[in-house]
Structure 1
Amino acid sequence: MSHPTEGRDPATLDQYKLAAEMADRVSARRGNANTYFVSLQSALVAVLGFLTAGASAPDRWVLVAVCSAGLVTATTWYLLLRSYRDLNRAKYEVICRIEAQLPHQVFSDEWISLKRDPVKWWRPRYAELGTVERVVPLAFAGLNVALGYYIGWG
């Protein structure tokens, strides 16, 4: 009985392993970026709370500036997440092309299985992490706009 990788170029398997590892590293960096931006956004909201709770409130433009910094940060976070998504999409396209030369297509088959059902928000279904996680910076952006408006002109 022959081994499934017998007669195949060992460099192909090595490239596949490297590509999968690099895709995993991008995902880990994305997770670290999310942690950083959630911490930063939380700190900005805490600063607003601290500044407005004091006996003498600072100039409203200082508060609006903090909200503006939060909006810029949320926008940067959103754009960074889009960039990570595009980078990972390209990496997985390469992985899937390499898999075509291997006996099993683990990533390709997994993706086909996950995407089998159409998107219907009223019932459980796999939601891509990139889609779900991009809602968080948008929520913080909305919060910063609302706070800035309330503080500055409300």
Structure 2
Amino acid sequence: MHHSTAALDHMLANSTVGPAQYADGPSRLHRAALLEQYKLYVEMADRVSARRGVANAFFLTINTGATAAVNVAVGLGAHHASAWAIGSLTCALLIQCFLWAATIHAYRRLSDVKWRVVGALERLLPVRAWSDAERGLLSSSWGSRYLTLTRLEELVPVCFALLYGLTCIAALIL
């Protein structure tokens, strides 16, 4: 759905904060300090997202390597390994998938709190770019069909866990 410029302006505007709040005097200093805190907090929230990306890259590397190693081992005829070896490897990989999912969940909760604080700070600023405008555009454009990146991100360790479970079953049956 395409929004008009007027609709976007309405989502951005904060009618409770205007030029009068930025006039000379103590209020101006307060607003300057608020803006600096806002910028710092947005940067901190963005850093959490960056750390989350690094953690996901780490787990994805482990899982990609494990998947490749299992495929190479099966290709070399090692699929007749003992049930204990297959079970142990699968358990280790499943535990690692659980830890990955837990890490994603922890980062999601931390990010959610940080971005809620950003939204609260935006209510004190002239525009609400993230809290109302961006979120409003996403929800009105996608509605209930909008699947957040975090929700997609949470599916990755589940897919690897399913792959490991199926590989274990196939290895034990064949």
Name the TM-score class by shorter chain: 0.7 to 0.9
Judged with a 3 Å threshold, the aligned counterparts in structure 2 of structure 1 residues 49 and 11 are, in CA distance, closer, same or farther, namely same
Equivalent pairs counted in the alignment come to: 148
Aligned equivalent of 1:22 = 44
1:72 aligned residue (95, 101, 104): 95
RMSD over aligned Cα atoms: 2.0
Q: Residue type matched to 1:142 in 2?
A: L
| Residue 168 of structure 2: aligned partner | 148
Unaligned runs of 5+ in 1: 121-125
Once the two structures are superposed, the pairs formed by residues 65-144 of structure 1 within 5 Å of their partners are 65-108=88-131, 109-116=133-140, 117-120=142-145, 126-144=146-164
Structure with greater proportional helix content: 2
SS of the residue corresponding to residue 147 of structure 2 reads: coil
Consecutive unaligned residues of structure 2, counting only runs of 5 or more, are 1-18
The higher relative CO (CA closer than 8 Å, separation ≥ 6) is in 2
Alignment of 1:30-45 (within 5 A): 30-45=52-67
- Greater CA radius of gyration, 1 or 2? 2
CA distance in 2, matches of 1:37, 1:114: 29
In the other structure, the counterpart of 1:123 is none
After the TM superposition, list the runs of 4 or more consecutive aligned residues in structure 1 that deviate by more than 4 angstroms: 2-6
1:76–1:99 Cα change, 3 Å: same
